[in-house]
Amino acid sequence: MFDASQELVLTDRDLRKVVRLVYDHSGITLHEGKRSLVMARLQKRLRHHGMSSFSAYLTHVERDASGEELVLLLDAMTTNHTYFFREEQHFAYLTSRVLSEWRARGSGGPLRIWCAACSTGEEPYTIAMSLADTTPAVEFGLLASDLSTKALKAAKAGVYKMAAVQSVPLEVLRRHFEKGMGEQAGFARVSANLRRRIAFRNMNLLEIGDAGERFDVIFCRNVMIYFDTLVQQRVVGMLERHLKPNGYLFISHSENLNGVTHDLRWMAPAVYQRGAA
């Protein structure tokens, strides 16, 4: 049973096992300097199960045939720091250059966008707001996916503390958010009209063979910084396969595709385009 007075020790062997589990199932590379982070985040899972050692918990993870505890372990280890209008130049590029080219091609059907690491939802909602405000007549649909079930739950709800929406321009905030009242005071919720434009799905970038469709635009930002070159190659190859001809891939300004083999053309900082055929 869990004893709150007992000092928990994360052995080197336990740490290596956590590192291996996280890498194998998410592609995220942890290192020795993350020991305190691993301990802090996994203690909650130990308390939940009434366990007194990390070794016992990891054995439970490995024996859980449902895979649910592994998902919760990955949830605990993933970082979901994001905010609205992050690297805002990308949204301007999307609503000008990308949208103009897409309309000129006259491909028919809605503009399809995949936000491949959506975290708690700020990025896909920013994309939706940008498109709705710049070109209200454009028909678009968004798939937003993430490895973390906890982050996806928050994203689907679309409820944020007022402090989290401070980066949203006031006029945009008024158009696309509802201010919480009563028990919800201090919170804002994305409008139902915007939420219904986005389909949220639990997806692991390492396990996707074929998502079932191809996209005009893919955002995959601030996730590859956690991958080594081998995993980056695997993920970029998968994303490239899911782009339509002339489709665009947006990564973060803190990332690059150096050392990764691909056929994408650099268009702007952290923006790449697939060829026409």
Hey, CA dihedral for 131, 249, 154, 84, is it positive or negative? negative
> Is there a contact between 124 and 198 (Cβ–Cβ < 8 Å)?
yes
Residue among 110, 107, 119, 164 nearest 137 (CA): 110
| pLDDT computed for residue 32 by the predictor | 65
What is the per-residue pLDDT across 75-118, written as a single tens digit (0 to 9) for each? 888 877 789 999 999 999 999 999 999 988 886 789 999 999 99
Residue among 133, 142, 148 nearest 196 (CA): 142
263 is a catalytic site residue: no
> Is there a contact between 270 and 255 (Cβ–Cβ < 8 Å)?
yes
| pLDDT computed for residue 29 by the predictor | 86
How deeply is 51 buried, as exposed, middle or buried, from its count of CB atoms within 10 A (0-12, 13-18, 19+)? buried
When the pLDDT of each residue in the chain is averaged and rounded to a whole number, the result is 91
The DSSP symbol for 107 reads -
Rounded to whole angstroms, how far apart are CA atoms 22 and 83? 25
Domain edges within the chain: 12-77, 89-273
Catalytic annotation, pick one of 14, 45, 112, 146: 146
Helix axes 54-63, 68-77, angle to 10 degrees: 130
Is it the case that residue 6 has pLDDT exceeding 80? Answer: no
Residue among 188, 152, 193, 183 nearest 168 (CA): 188
CA dihedral 47, 49, 55, 60 (to 10 degrees): -150
210 is a catalytic site residue: no
What is the per-residue pLDDT across 150-188, written as a single tens digit (0 to 9) for each? 899 999 999 999 999 988 999 999 999 998 888 888 999
| pLDDT computed for residue 37 by the predictor | 86
What is the per-residue pLDDT across 50-60, written as a single tens digit (0 to 9) for each? 998 999 999 99
State the average pLDDT over residues 254-271. Answer: 94
What is the per-residue pLDDT across 108-128, written as a single tens digit (0 to 9) for each? 789 999 999 999 999 999 999
> Is there a contact between 247 and 272 (Cβ–Cβ < 8 Å)?
no
Is it the case that residue 4 has pLDDT exceeding 60? Answer: no
Residue 82 CB coordination number (10 Å): 19
Residue range 89-273, CATH number: 3.40.50.150
**CATH number, domain 12-77, options 1.10.287.980, 1.10.3720.10, 1.10.155.10, 3.40.50.10320:** 1.10.155.10
Q: Could you give the C-alpha distances from 146 to 25, 49, 57, 115, in angstroms and in order?
A: 13, 26, 25, 9
Is it the case that residue 265 has pLDDT exceeding 50? Answer: yes
pTM: 0.87
* 133 vs 248, more confident: 248
What is the per-residue pLDDT across 218-247, written as a single tens digit (0 to 9) for each? 999 999 988 999 999 999 999 999 999 999
